[in-house]
Amino acid sequence: MKNENNAICEVIPLCKAGLHDEDITRVASCLRSGWITSGPICREFETAFAGYKGIAPEQVLAVSSCTAALHLALLGAGVGAGDEVITTALTFSATVHEIIHVGATPVLADIDSVSWNIDPESICSVITPKTKAILVVHYAGRPCAMDRIMEIARAHDLKVIEDCAHAIETRFHGQAAGTFGDFAAFSFYASKNLTTAEGGMLVGKDPSAVRRLRIASLHGMDRDAWARGNDDKFSYLVVSDGFKYNLSDVHAAIGVGQIARIEENLAAREAIWRSYMEAFSDLPLGLPAPLDGNGDRHARHIFTMRVEDGGGQRRALMRHLQGAGVSSSIHYPPIPAHPYFQDRLGIRARDFPVSFDYGQKTVTIPLYPTMDHGEIARVIDSVRSFFGG
């Protein structure tokens, strides 16, 4: 990539995994040990994650992806054929796909125009006698209005599942995201604030439910290979239906070190976030709204902004950034904009006006804790130059 002075410059990625030498050493040690699938390091990772969230180790289950965790959460909540699950119109497709995969019907609620999270009043407007659960998404790392959402759930005897793919560090009124609902799903994909390259975590209020889902996550077997090799029982029995959702020790070895640095990394992300907010405050952009306070915390997972003139200007901005060697993306085309969901659910994008408007205008720019001052300045200068700033 060449800049305007024809000098070679590296492309600034949208995200970059913050791997340290100690992470590589830990993975290498796991590989040399001869035990590389689910085992002691996976349990160590679960315990560390539970400690970070302030919950018991028995309430967490490491799995192969956030998608797997969402599937198990829905099953754990008793969602199945004939049920409806309300979720946000602005999310990644996996949130909605897993509702379909358990045989239920996704019912979309619109977002509010300030937080870009699911609008509690929109939830109220689509509750029916078939509604079984509410599946919320803490978009970009900003907490949903969990007080109002839990109030709605209690009033209608509904299960609550939190999609925390963006929200490892998120808090609402001082309480950790993922500890409000009956279940929660976290993502450790390569782009996430805490990564295991691929992986996820299921959190559940009821340890007995998590124990049942642990069995389901590995073919329905009552004991995994590590347990069979470390006691005198040796065998196993299949006691339920099941899936292949376990996380390997190789992946967990990355995560153990990541948890130790998560607050340090968040501080770095917050500093970059502040630089963007200050640098773009005078531009014709819709920037993320400030939090309300009261103990709320944003995970600063992705920095999204709204190009007010819509699709044509957004494409022009993204082309401009590409030419400057700055990556960008769209988070997200709303669920009702996708042909599959339009056909499957009988919906149109314009049925959800706030999500539709935001989906037409959103742009995500680079944000990761190892960005240096030169990279941050390049991103800022590239955005400002597009608007003549």
Residue numbers annotated as active site: 192
Select from 358, 370, 288, 303 the least CA-distant residue to 110: 358
Whether residue 200 contacts residue 49, with contact meaning beta carbons closer than 8 Å, is answered with no
The total of other beta-carbon atoms located within 10 Å of residue 268's CB is 17
Which pair of tokens denotes residue 234? 């040796």
92-130 exposure pattern, b = at least 16 Cβ within 10 A, e = fewer: bebbbebbeebebbbbbbbbbeebbbbbbebbeeebeee
Distance set, CA 278 to CA 104, 105, 243, 269 (Å):
44, 43, 48, 14
Alpha carbons 232 and 306: distance in angstroms, whole number: 60
How many residues in total does the chain contain?
389
Phi, psi of 202 (to 5 degrees): -100, 135
Interior angle at CA 166, CA 107 and CA 272, nearest 5: 140
Q: What's the one-letter identity of residue 206?
A: D
Residues paired with residue 176 on neighbouring β-strands, in sequence order: 171
List Cβ neighbours of 216 (8 Å cut-off, separation of 6 or more).
72, 75, 240, 241, 242, 243, 245
Residue 189 is classified by DSSP as: -
Alpha carbons 70 and 68: distance in angstroms, whole number: 5
Residue 142 is classified by DSSP as: P
Three-class secondary structure assignment of 62-82: EECCHHHHHHHHHHHCCCCCC
3-state DSSP: the chain helix, strand, coil percent, rounded to 5? 40, 15, 40
